[in-house]
Structures are given as structure tokens and as C-alpha cells.
Structure 1
Amino acid sequence: MTHGFDLGDRLRERERQDLRRHLDVTERVARRTRFADDPKSGAADFGEEMVVFAANNYLGLADDGRVQRAAEQGARTVGTGAGASRLVTGDTRLHRALERDLADCKGTERALVFSSGYAANVGTIDALAPDAVFSDELNHASIIDGCRVGAAETVVYDHCEADDLRAKMAERASTAGDGEQWLVVTDSVFSMDGDVAPLAALCDAAEEYGAWLMVDEAHATGLFGNGGGVVQREGLSDRVDIQLGTLSKALASQGGYVAGDEELVEYLLNAARSFVFSTGLAPPAAGAAREALRIARETDQTDRLWETVETLREGLEAMGYEVLGETHILPVLVGDRVDALELDERLRDHGVVAPAIRPPTVPEGTSRIRVAPMATHTDADLTQCLDAFEAAGKEVGVL
């Protein structure tokens, strides 16, 4: 009798289901780079340089000199690591400065920085411990895990359907006792479909039942509303109880944040276990995120991104591809998972990296290529991308 884990069998099963993934080594984080297969303990053998349309580095700031210098300054003046939990000795002026800037950007009284967006989601939901969470069916895994850890019950409503949310809240209200605490949680921009939650309608539904609304702006922070997110673009800062996001996408750093009123932040820094029991965000990351946020708010970097997005969307649709969504994330619908995986490979043959997304990440029959442009992509990069999609699409037979 054995009580161990047969991980080899689990890996073989993932292989049989075409779900096993492997690491690829990237030479640098930039719009163009070289890749190598996972070298394990050996040296990486890099191939030809390719143009990257697969990163969440939306503003192209991860290798920006201004952001790099801010990270270096953080390391030199504060240290390479925070050294302890923020509640012990890991709270620094740099953390406070970043949080002030985030709160100002998000139109809130205060913000709190976590070690990751994942930690912010799980820690916040767990700390609130709601009797019921009403969660969009396509919410990110970090929200789902937060619900598993912290919610007494999770009620899933149809994707971006405020009417279904209201119906499910009405159904629960008919049987729930007085005093239940409810939380409605949604992403603002959904990373696989590139669509946007109907935030005003969700605010209406939450307010009707006295629930709190929490919005994860992971894929929106820095890109809408003067460096804020969709909440700021829609003018809803005073109606959304909890604004949350990451520093690792458009802000080209690492970490997550929660923004809200003074009482919320004060409670979370005492009760969110993923904050209390984690070393504070590394000062170089805090410095980099703060400078990236400044660039997003004070320069035309976001305008350049939206111009790039428009060029690619129009070009892909003109070829005959169906491009989902309405944001900077461009999901190119393929349908069949085998075709999507082959299209991914053929794009690489043409020097373009854009990943295939297939079930179970997306529903059966909706496999796609997820194109993620950067503000720093040049006209030549865009031409190469479009030419690659045309050639690869014909080779695979989807055009």
C-alpha cells in the first residue's frame, strides 16, 4: 500500500490531453527577443529573434530606461529587498509614495500594495469573509481561489450580465437571513475575450441590494482614465467599494494593490493574511511601478498603444479573421484547438510569438490566438505581424 503521489502519471495524463506545458527561456523582456527551449541545468541555446505579441507589458515599459533607473534608484537608496513584512520593518517611504500615487490615480483615500495581484485578490476576499460572493463566470483564477478560501458561498452569474446578477441576488435575498454580507466581484477587462464588464450596471445591482462591489483592474491599470482603469474612464470611483489590480502588466513591475477608503485599507493591513505574512514588495519593484505609473499618466504612451491596437484589429479583420473584444487584447478566434495550436507554430515560423489559447482555458470550439500589442511596437513590427497572420492562416487553412 502506498500513500504517495504519482506525479509521473499526472504528467502523462496532461500529455495525453495535450495540456502539458514547458518553459521557454526568454533572452530579455522587450518587443523583440530570442527564445530557447528549457535548458534544465544547461546553457540556453537561443534561436532567431522574434517579435513578441504575447506579453502583458502593454506600454512596453519593462525595458524602458526611465523605469530601469527608478528600479536601480530604489535598490541603491532603500535596498534590493524589503527585508520583512510591512508590519515589522518592511514599510518604507518608497512603498508609501507608490501607494499615495495609486490612491490619487484611482480617486480613493488610500491604497495598499501587496506582493502580487494574486495575493491581493486572495487576501482581500479572505479578510472580508463574505457570506456570499457573486462572481462573473469568467473571472480570473486568483478571484476564484479567493472565493474558495474566503467566501462562505460563491454564486456565479453569467458573463457580463448585470440582469443575471440581479436575478441571482433576488433569489438569494428571498431565503437569506438579515445581516448577510455580500460581495460582487468582477474583472474590468477580461484577459481571454478582451471585453469590458458593464460596471455602471453592476454598481446599480450591488447598490440595490446593499452589496459591495470589487473590481479587478489587472488588465486596465495604467491604460484608461489618466493612468487609472475602466473605473476611472467610466467615472465610477465613488461607487466601486474596492479597486484592485496589478503592477506587473502595463506598469512593468511586480506586485498588486488594493485601493479604497481609509477604513478598508486599515482593515486589510491587519487582516489580509497574504499581506500580513509576506515580505513587503521589493523596493526596486515599487520604484519601477511608480515611475511607470507616472509615464502612463503624463506622456502619450497610452495613445501610442491604442493606435497600435487599431492598426492590428483593422488589418486582421480585413484578412477575414474574427477579432473578439473591444480593448487592447485582441483574441483572434480560430475555433478548433488543433488549428489554433498549428497557427501558433506557423506564426513562430514567421518570427511572431502569439500564443494559442484552448480549452479548458476557453470553452470548446472557441480556441484562439491571443494578440497582445505593446505601445513600443514599430510600424515594421506591425507589418511583420499582419504578414505572418496572412501567410500562416493560409498554410493552416483558416483563411
Structure 2
Amino acid sequence: MCERGFDLDDRLRERRSRTLYRDLQPADAVGHSARFAPDPGADLPVIEPDHQLVFAANNYLGLAGDERVVEAAQNAADVVGTGAGASRLVTGDTLVHRDLESRIADAKGTERALAFSSGYAANVGTIAALDPDVVFSDELNHASIVDGCRLADADVVVYDHCDPSDLRERMSERRAEPVAAGDVAVPNGGADESWLVVTDSVFSMDGTIAPFEALADLAEEFGAWLLADEAHATGCFVDGGGIVQRAGLEDRVQIQLGTLSKALGSQGGYVAGSSDLIEFLVNEARSFVYSTGLAPPAAAAAGEALHLARTTDRRARLWRNVDKLRDGLEDVGLDVGGETQILPVHVGDREDALALAAALRDRDVIAPAIRPPTVPEGTSRIRVAPMATHSAAELETCIDAFAVAADEVGVI
């Protein structure tokens, strides 16, 4: 009989040979420090005794373990339940969801918002539901954007990272392409195509920021819509909003999208925009229609976290820590990129990056090596992400660990 199955063992061996193999490392808590266990496979993990400092998480404001956020989740579980129980179009639409969406819309300066089960689901569902003819996508956009474009079956035009000039050139080329209109060939701009410009606002592996004012100018010039994925910006910038809020472009970005699982320390995703947009997604976004509603405790936790991001000093504490850590790593002699709370320490060689991450772990600092295919060949780096809850002493410990480990590996 012909074998039509899958040789997964061979595929895994191939990943190991290319140093692409990943495993899971269970932790005992989510916070600025934790105790970890080696991947136990199918067995229960055995947690190691020593705490390690975590400079790898997206829990930027340190709210995942905040007692007020935990209490909000517990209250929602007590009053509403641990799960929504059904799609929100059936019986899973609760007051907790509506409160969260009201808070998001207020922070994002939009008419309405809609909560999804994850940021990934929000991206895939929104782009596929809009079904654009053409998507102009930044070359470093998140995988969920890439997959949304695939599901939409759009013509995807990739432009150079954060480069409005390249985007203008590609939009102009697309508009000038001849298409058939009866017996006459006309420029594509007259063919009634729908165009969508999509970009992350803060890019998760580089810490760079999209040039939104220039992108909004181009979108308006060419009649396109603009979608901003604020996954790594939500909660961290002006009034707990994102880069769109910092730029004051709420009225020029038709779709603001993000996650509740990073700075807001919970789970889920959201889309914010006009009432028409939200009503359309309620009816057409398959990842919303055919998913059980976001768990009420997660919705309540995210709502409380957003409130704290807007009303406490967490954001100020985060940015103080970012500045201190960046200065310390640069003083050591490391090449630190980015312009946000994400601090990529550029190493270049894949093996050096893996060795540096291992040397840091030996010194009780968790900061992962990011290597191809996540980033281009020759651009491997250590992705460092401080939290608002790291103390000054813990930041110094991280800097000292980098100094010793980088010297040991030979990258400084």
C-alpha cells in the first residue's frame, strides 16, 4: 500500500539540523521574574528552584499579575462564568464584553470596538471579511496579517519596511496597470478596486514604528483604507492608546486593531472603528461569528488593565526602565536597535545569538534569540523587553549579565 501519511520525525530532525527547533519551557508564574522547567514532553514539569529575571515577555506594564486585574477576572468568573458558553451571536454576548468594548472605543477615539478571541483572530477575520482586491503590506508585518491576506485571496503588494516612498511607487504602479474595460484598456485606478494599506504600528522584532502620517496621506491620495495593528502599542502610549493616538490620527485610520494579551496582560483581540465597520464584522468576520465569545474573566481583566494603563504611573515607569536599560546595554558596547519598549540587541550570526541567549540564561536572565526565518539571514538578535515592574537593581542585573555573556560569546 502506498504510504500517504506524514514523516514528522524526519521533519523535526531537519528543523534540529538547521537550529530551528523550538520547545516549551513551563513557568510557575507570569511576571518580571519566574521559575522555569525544562520541557517535560508529556510528563508533568519539574520547576527549577531558582527564580530568573524575565526580559522576554510582552507583559510590558506588568499587569498580568496585578491584584486589581486578577480581582476583576475573579469577579467576572463569579458573576458571569468562566466561559462565554457560545458564540456571541448565540448566547455568549455579556455585559462584560460590552464594558470592555466601550473602554477600548474610548481609548482609541472611535465609535465602537469589537472583542475577538485573539489578536490573530481579529486580524485574520477582519482582513478576510473586508475581502480587498489589493493589500499593500509592510514587509515585516505579523504572520496574522499575512494569513489574513491569504484568506482574503487578495493581490498582495509588499512594500519596503516603513518606507512611504516605496509604498507610493507601488501604489502608482498598480494604478497605472492596464486592465480591460470593454474593448478598451484603462489604468487600474478606474477599475473600481478596493485597496487596503496594512501595517503594524510597533514591529515586534525590530521595535520600529510605522510612519502613520505619511501612510495616511498616501491612503487618502489613492483612495485606500488604512489598517493599523496596534498589538505592541496598545496601553503603552498616549492615554493608554497606541501610536495612532500619539500621532492624533484617529480620524484618518479606518481600522485600529490589536491584542489584549500584551501590555493589557489578558487574552483576546479587538477591532476599533466606525459603527458600520463593527456591525459589518459582527456579520461577516468568520473568526468572530464561528468562535465562542472571549472568556468573561479575560474580558474583565483586559478592561481593568486598560483602566490602569490610563490612570496610573505604569506607562511612565515602563519608559523610565526602557531608557535605563537601553543606555546600559549601549554603554556595554552592544548594538541596540528600535525606538520603543522593544530593544533588539543585534548580533548577526545565528549561532552567536543562540549562544548569547544560553549564556544569559546561565546568569538567570531570560531573553530569547530571534533568528531566521523569523528575521532575515544575518540579522539574528536578542529581543529584550523590560517591564514597568522591573526594579532598578533588576535592570542592573540584566545589564551586567549581558556584559559578561556578550564578552564570553565574543560579540563585543
TM-score tier, shorter chain, comes to: over 0.9
Correspondence 1:396 to 2:396: no
Deviation at 1:110, TM superposition (A): 0.3
Correspondence 1:169 to 2:161: no
Q: CA RMSD in A?
A: 0.7
Give the structure 2 partner of residue 292 of structure 1: 305
Deviation at 1:2, TM superposition (A): 1.4
Map 1:2-17 onto structure 2 (within 5 A): 2-17=3-18
- SS of the counterpart of 1:370? strand
Give the structure 2 partner of residue 372 of structure 1: 385
Over the matched positions of the two proteins, sequence identity in percent amounts to: 66
- SS of the counterpart of 1:60? coil
Give the structure 2 partner of residue 140 of structure 1: 142
Deviation at 1:364, TM superposition (A): 1.3
Residue 133 of structure 1 contacts residue 151 of structure 1 at CA under 8 Å; is this kept in 2?
A: no
Residue 321 of structure 1 contacts residue 333 of structure 1 at CA under 8 Å; is this kept in 2?
A: yes
Pick one of 328, 337, 340 that aligns with 1:315: 328
Give the structure 2 partner of residue 22 of structure 1: 23
Q: Distance in 1 between matches of 2:123 and 2:388?
A: 28
**34-43 vs 372-381, greater mean Cα deviation:** 34-43
Give the structure 2 partner of residue 263 of structure 1: 276
Letter matched to residue 142 of structure 2: H
Give the structure 2 partner of residue 183 of structure 1: 196
Q: Distance in 1 between matches of 2:377 and 2:77?
A: 47
- SS of the counterpart of 1:97? helix
- SS of the counterpart of 2:240? coil
Q: Distance in 2 between matches of 1:4 and 1:334?
A: 40
Letter matched to residue 349 of structure 1: D
Map 1:94-109 onto structure 2 (within 5 A): 94-109=96-111
Map 1:67-82 onto structure 2 (within 5 A): 67-82=69-84
| Structure 2 unmatched ranges of 5 or more | 178-187
Length-normalised TM-score, structure 2: 0.96
Residue 133 of structure 1 contacts residue 184 of structure 1 at CA under 8 Å; is this kept in 2?
A: yes
Residue 132 of structure 1 contacts residue 151 of structure 1 at CA under 8 Å; is this kept in 2?
A: no
Pick one of 230, 252, 274 that aligns with 2:287: 274
Q: Distance in 1 between matches of 2:210 and 2:278?
A: 25
Q: Distance in 2 between matches of 1:289 and 1:223?
A: 14
Q: Distance in 2 between matches of 1:90 and 1:374?
A: 34
- SS of the counterpart of 1:37? coil
Deviation at 1:41, TM superposition (A): 3.3
Give the structure 2 partner of residue 58 of structure 1: 60
Pick one of 155, 158, 161 that aligns with 2:160: 158
Deviation at 1:40, TM superposition (A): 2.6
Residue 352 of structure 1 contacts residue 388 of structure 1 at CA under 8 Å; is this kept in 2?
A: yes
Correspondence 1:341 to 2:354: yes
Length-normalised TM-score, structure 1: 0.99
Q: Which portions of structure 1, spanning 4 or more consecutive aligned residues, are displaced by more than 3 angstroms?
A: none
Pick one of 236, 250, 255 that aligns with 1:223: 236
Deviation at 1:251, TM superposition (A): 0.3
Give the structure 2 partner of residue 193 of structure 1: 206
Letter matched to residue 45 of structure 1: V
Q: Distance in 1 between matches of 2:218 and 2:261?
A: 31
- 1:19-68 per-residue CA deviation (whole Å, 9 max, x = no partner) reads 01111111111111111012233332222210000100000011110000
Give the structure 2 partner of residue 32 of structure 1: 33
Residue 246 of structure 1 contacts residue 255 of structure 1 at CA under 8 Å; is this kept in 2?
A: yes
Give the structure 2 partner of residue 301 of structure 1: 314
Q: Distance in 1 between matches of 2:250 and 2:125?
A: 22
Distance change (3 Å), C-alpha of 1:189 and 1:93: same
Residue 125 of structure 1 contacts residue 151 of structure 1 at CA under 8 Å; is this kept in 2?
A: no
- 1:324-359 per-residue CA deviation (whole Å, 9 max, x = no partner) reads 010000000011111110000000111100000011
Q: Distance in 1 between matches of 2:126 and 2:167?
A: 21
Give the structure 1 partner of residue 185 of structure 2: none
Deviation at 1:174, TM superposition (A): 0.9
Q: Distance in 2 between matches of 1:221 and 1:255?
A: 13
Correspondence 1:357 to 2:359: no
Residue 84 of structure 1 contacts residue 280 of structure 1 at CA under 8 Å; is this kept in 2?
A: yes
Q: Distance in 2 between matches of 1:160 and 1:232?
A: 18
Q: Distance in 2 between matches of 1:281 and 1:42?
A: 30
